[in-house]
């Protein structure tokens, strides 16, 4: 079974640069307090690292 992480959106994309909004959409997040379970890959970790003020890693599984 592959490792996964649960990512939660904690910040609003309003008045943020377009690239940060696109990163949120790329993670599958678009509304406050939504969570997604994503595969733990370097690409996903990099996306989370780009917007640490908008998302948090809630849980690591696997």
DSSP string, 1-62: ---EEEEEE-S--TTS-HHHHHHHHHTT--STT-EEEEE--HHHHHHHHH-TTTEEEEEEE-
pLDDT tens string 26-52: 999 999 999 999 999 999 999 999 999
Q: Average the pLDDT over 6-34 and give the result.
A: 98
- Full set of structural domains in the chain with CATH: 2-59 (3.30.1390.20)
CA separation, residue 51 to residues 17, 45, 46, 54 (Å): 11, 10, 9, 5
Q: Average the pLDDT over 8-14 and give the result.
A: 97
Q: What is the pLDDT of residue 1?
A: 63
Proportion of the chain above pLDDT 90, given as a percent: 95
Residue tagged 């696997």 (tokens): 62
Tokens of 3: 């490792």
């Amino acid at each position: 079974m592959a490792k996964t992480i649960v990512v939660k959106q904690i910040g609003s994309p309003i008045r943020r640069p377009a690239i940060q909004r696109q990163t949120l959409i790329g993670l599958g997040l678009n509304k406050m307090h939504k969570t997604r379970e994503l595969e733990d890959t370097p690409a996903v970790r990099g996306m989370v690292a780009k917007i640490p003020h908008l998302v948090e890693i809630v849980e690591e599984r696997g």
